[in-house]
A and B are shown apart, each in its own frame.
Chain A
Amino acid sequence: MKHVRLLVLTENLAQASLALAETESFHPDPRPPEDTRLDLTPGHQYREVFTRAQSRLEKIGRLVTLPTPEIEQVRVVEFAELAELNAWLGGLWDEASGYEEDLRRLEDAERLVKEQQASLANFANLDIDLGMLRNKTRFLDFYVGLVPRENLRQLEGAVGLAHHLLHVYMQREETAHVVIVGPTGTEESQLATVLGAAGFQHLPIPRELDREPAELQRDLAAERRAIEKQRGSLHDNLERWSQPFRDRLVEARRTLLLAEPLVTLDPSLRSAGHLAHLVGWVPTHALESLEQRLRDSLNQPFDLRVRDPLPEERKLVPTVPVKSRFLVPFRMLVDQYGVPSYGEVDPTPLFAATFLLMFGMMFGDLGHGAVIALVAWSARRRLPRFYLFGVLAGISSMVFGLLFGSLFGYEEILPALWMSPLHDPILMLQVALGWGIAFILVACLLGIYNRLVTADPWGALFERHGLINLLFYLAFLWGGYRLAAGGEFGTLPALLAVGSLLALAAFQWRELQAPTGERLLVVAIETLDTVIVYVSNTLSFLRVAAFSLNHVALSLAIFTLADMMGSVGHLLTLVLGNLFVLVLEGGIVMIQVMRLQYYEGFSRYFSGDGHRFHPLRLRRGGASS
């Protein structure tokens, strides 16, 4: 990755932004330049007008369906053109918002009719003259209506202070239907302001309430149909209204797509007079084509300076992600932990390989693997970026199924290319242990390499999982092997292990800034932790063998249960049992493998504190909105 600084004439800025966007290899760097003369932000006003215009177009787009146009001809959108477009869209939105407001009023009216229908259904059971609720009497005031339920309690008290009574006769979702009754007089005006503040909405009581309820309901249903008709005609009007502008609106969308690159660059742009300054990151391999593109596009001179990232800029340099379609789903899982920082080994290929190996070994079954692969394949349209993960995991499971001779848990149908895990569990455990040791050693070596690359030699030597730590682990393994072989731990391995631990402790003592007692405590605990972590991490890999044994054992349990049933029950138990194994055991194995990767692997060599390369792009459209 290289750091580039581009100086162009301000009048060429829009053209430069398009050229950079077309190469898709320029990641803007928003840091301000050191030169204080470059204190203007030439893209700021452009961005503000753009944002307003885009917001207006989006709002219009909610009412009028517009396709997203293709960009065939790339051209510069000048500020004057953008401002004119914004003003035009403003005028158009003024008109369109009237339609939107009308549509919302219809929605409100429909909601009110629905509430009326519900209210009448409730009134139907009452034996009183409801017509009286519609009118004021000489002494009494009636208010029938709706109020948000959350305002009810407070309103009840407030109404009481105005000498009125509030009765809730129905509650629907967030709304309460209430009747408020009280004496006519001066409190009436008080109450009006309270009701307004509480969001009270009058519910009109239909005339001729003494008619048949069914007849009233028919009237209300007709009212709803009328609202629906009005809505339809409003949409027709909207369609007719938009017809003359439609092409121009599509063109407006195209214009905004073309203006977008300069807007995206705004935080990174600075200028002084006619000179504009722009910095960013470009992958080394793309430099030549980027320069060529600028040369072809700009009609005025420009200056492009390229340099390597400085050591203090390391954290700011973006990381280009792996692009292989087979690795993309694994990259998504790596991203859950973090993004590799610049210079750090991207763990995705190693993660993919070790994940598949461990998953296959822990869940090795030709039949189950085939089901996983087929299910993932069938989901390829819904999960276009992730389905390959399932396909590959299924294939790995199938390969290990062939090695173990396992087909839907049956061990007798397929001849094992290697052996069934249950035939020699000790060997399986030894293989898993060996695998774990190799995994930890590789992880430590990668960690050391990453620290060396990021110019941290002391860290590579003394930090956790550094070279001295690795020396301790190797000495510990050596002594452990001698013990397991029936001998003693050995003086040399013991000296190496203790010596490396003391070196680690001394380094920590030097680094820690704390009172002596606290230092002593922390160093003692950390040293003990180093021993425990390496022992437990190594043993942790025994689960790889344990799950392969578990798979066989679970299948045996299912067969035993099935054998206790009749023929239908047998078949049913086998199907459900296999489903159980697939979902539950498959899920658990997946979690366990992720755990091994994140804890035993990534924590040793992967900082994950980088950030992704997001180049400036020109969205070329093509999809309907």
Chain B
Amino acid sequence: MSHAAEQAYLNTRVSMMATRLLAPELVGGLSKMSLQTLAERFGLTALLDDQPSRAARSRAVEQSLLQVLLAELKLLVRPMDAAQRALVLTWGRKFALYNLKTLIRGKLYALDPQEIQAQLFELPEIIRLPHQELFQAENVLELLRQLEAGPYRQIAHQAREVYERQREPFALEAAVDQRYYAEISHRILGFDVHHLDSLRRLMGAELDRVALLWLLRFRFSYRLSPSETYYRLVPSMRLLTSERLLTLVELETAERVIEALPAPLDRLLAQSGTIAEVQQRMGGYSLREIRRVLHQSQSAVARALAYLMLRESDLFLLFAVVQGRLLEFPQRAIEVALELIEPSCSRPDALEPAAQAA
């Protein structure tokens, strides 16, 4: 069977599902919708349910949006082969890692078990960590010992040593995130030519974004040394490769880092005053790259992953509006939040040709 024929089913499914993505004109109108309209328009029955508190309603909505995303993920991985499925599930495992981090923080600060439980996402079997066992751990040390028995044994082992010295969750959480992206990167490199370019383009943009933001934060907000900053980064397979990161971490100011970035990132981020601004512009850049893969790629797995990433962004957007309405934020604050999540293509003129070249 030809490559195109093998991909036909998944490609068709992705194309059909892509019609569910929020149209740009709808995104603009989201911030003006009332809770009632949001609930009716997007089937968010949890919004209308009688919940004891705003927090409970917000949590129920977040949970139901996540269930939508994970149900689509399960649907998409069904026709995939083992390697494709493993990649997409690795991407989806980020929600399990949110839970893991919640557990670690909860145990570290000795939070009430009910409170921790309320913060955990309900996840399907395919991406779930053994939360119940971890949840029953009496303290962080025991939790880390239990983690050492599973796939996170290396992280847990070193984190335990760090924890015994420092008693703070940063090192462990940073290691969990680093391992997450490193695993995605590693899996992508195992694909053949039919998928490799598209996947590199897709996850490369995401890894560029993550690497740059982490670099700026670790180096200039947390004041880590160049070597420690570099160690905690995940090199991208596209623009911010390990060689480039080695040079960037040694620069003394954020402005110099931005100046030294390769095209098109240098132009995109020129005159960014704050890390939040960098985050916003990189978010926009990453979303455009993801859309490009969804619409132009021949690789079904890359398109499926691109769809899920965009869908996650849409649902996140929706959740931001719901939360803004629940907390009765002013209209302007909600609009600012939406702009941060989905920037309305700032400076597209500067970006397009350069992005094509990249």
In the complex, per-residue mask of B308-324: 1 if CB is within 8 Å of any chain A CB, else 0:
00000000000000000
Q: Which of A97, A153, A190 contacts B227 (CB 8 A)?
A: A190
B230 part of interface (Cβ distance < 8 Å): yes
CA–CA, A190 and B230, complex, Å? 12
Q: Which residues of A contact B182 (CB under 8 A)?
A: 150
CB distance from B172 to the nearest CB of A (A): 10
CA–CA, A438 and B157, complex, Å? 65
- Given A191-B227, A199-B161, do A160 and B246 touch, yes or no (CB 8 Å)? yes
A299 part of interface (Cβ distance < 8 Å): no
CB distance from A92 to the nearest CB of B (A): 12
Q: Which residues of A contact B171 (CB under 8 A)?
A: 196-197
Q: Which residues of A contact B231 (CB under 8 A)?
A: 154-155, 157-158, 194, 197-198
Q: Are A157's CB and B175's CB within 8 A?
A: no
Q: Which residues of B contact A135 (CB under 8 A)?
A: none
CB distance from B286 to the nearest CB of A (A): 23
Q: Are A196's CB and B165's CB within 8 A?
A: yes
Interface residues of B in 220-261 (CB under 8 A from A): 224-228, 230-233, 242, 245-246, 249-250
CA–CA, A541 and B231, complex, Å? 66
Q: Which residues of B contact A199 (CB under 8 A)?
A: 154, 157-158, 161
CB distance from A108 to the nearest CB of B (A): 9
Q: Which residues of A contact B250 (CB under 8 A)?
A: 161
In the complex, per-residue mask of A194-222: 1 if CB is within 8 Å of any chain B CB, else 0:
10111100000000000000000000000
CA–CA, A56 and B249, complex, Å? 47
Q: Which residues of B contact A90 (CB under 8 A)?
A: 138
Interface residues of B in 91-142 (CB under 8 A from A): 113, 133, 136, 138, 141-142
**Which partner residue on chain B sits nearest A162 by CB separation?**
B227
Q: Are A197's CB and B232's CB within 8 A?
A: yes
B291 part of interface (Cβ distance < 8 Å): no
Highest count of chain A CB atoms <10 Å: which of B161, B182, B227, B242: B227
- Given A52-B136, A197-B162, A199-B161, do A154 and B230 touch, yes or no (CB 8 Å)? yes
CB distance from B237 to the nearest CB of A (A): 13
In the complex, per-residue mask of B134-178: 1 if CB is within 8 Å of any chain A CB, else 0:
001010011001000000001001100110010000010011000
Q: Which residues of B contact A153 (CB under 8 A)?
A: 242
Q: Which of B158, B225, B249 contacts A198 (CB 8 A)?
A: B158
A142 part of interface (Cβ distance < 8 Å): no
Q: Which residues of B contact A162 (CB under 8 A)?
A: 225-227
Highest count of chain B CB atoms <10 Å: which of A48, A56, A151, A197: A197
A148 part of interface (Cβ distance < 8 Å): yes
CA–CA, A55 and B133, complex, Å? 8
**Which partner residue on chain A sits nearest B235 by CB separation?**
A154
Q: Are B246's CB and A157's CB within 8 A?
A: yes
Q: Are A161's CB and B249's CB within 8 A?
A: yes
CA–CA, A56 and B136, complex, Å? 8
Q: Are A104's CB and B145's CB within 8 A?
A: yes
Q: Which of A97, A151, A160, A198 contacts B142 (CB 8 A)?
A: A97
Interface residues of A in 137-165 (CB under 8 A from B): 148, 150-151, 153-155, 157-162
Q: Which residues of A contact B165 (CB under 8 A)?
A: 196
CA–CA, A191 and B224, complex, Å? 11
CA–CA, A187 and B227, complex, Å? 9
Q: Are B228's CB and A193's CB within 8 A?
A: yes
Q: Are B154's CB and A148's CB within 8 A?
A: yes
CB distance from A225 to the nearest CB of B (A): 25
A174 part of interface (Cβ distance < 8 Å): yes
CA–CA, A154 and B250, complex, Å? 15
Q: Are A51's CB and B136's CB within 8 A?
A: yes
Q: Are B230's CB and A157's CB within 8 A?
A: yes
CA–CA, A447 and B321, complex, Å? 50
Q: Are B227's CB and A161's CB within 8 A?
A: yes
Q: Which residues of A contact B133 (CB under 8 A)?
A: 55
Q: Which of B136, B154, B157, B242 contacts A157 (CB 8 A)?
A: B242
**Which partner residue on chain B sits nearest A201 by CB separation?**
B161
Q: Which residues of B contact A155 (CB under 8 A)?
A: 231
A613 part of interface (Cβ distance < 8 Å): no
In the complex, per-residue mask of B323-354: 1 if CB is within 8 Å of any chain A CB, else 0:
00000000000000000000000000000000
Interface residues of B in 174-232 (CB under 8 A from A): 174-175, 182, 224-228, 230-232
CA–CA, A547 and B55, complex, Å? 66
Q: Which residues of A contact B136 (CB under 8 A)?
A: 51-52, 55-56
Q: Are B225's CB and A197's CB within 8 A?
A: no
Q: Which residues of A contact B161 (CB under 8 A)?
A: 196, 199
CB distance from B331 to the nearest CB of A (A): 36
In the complex, per-residue mask of A174-198: 1 if CB is within 8 Å of any chain B CB, else 0:
1000000000000100110110111
CA–CA, A154 and B242, complex, Å? 8
A-B pairs with beta carbons under 8 Å apart, 8 shown: A52-B136, A150-B182, A155-B231, A157-B231, A162-B225, A194-B225, A194-B231, A199-B157
Which 6 pairs between the two chains have the least Cβ-Cβ distance? Answer: A199-B158, A158-B231, A55-B136, A161-B227, A190-B225, A162-B227
Q: Besides A51-B136, A197-B158, 13 other CB < 8 A contacts?
A: A48-B113, A52-B136, A55-B133, A97-B142, A160-B246, A161-B250, A162-B225, A193-B224, A196-B158, A196-B165, A197-B174, A197-B231, A198-B231
Q: Which residues of B contact A (CB under 8 A)?
A: 113, 133, 136, 138, 141-142, 145, 154, 157-158, 161-162, 165, 171, 174-175, 182, 224-228, 230-233, 242, 245-246, 249-250
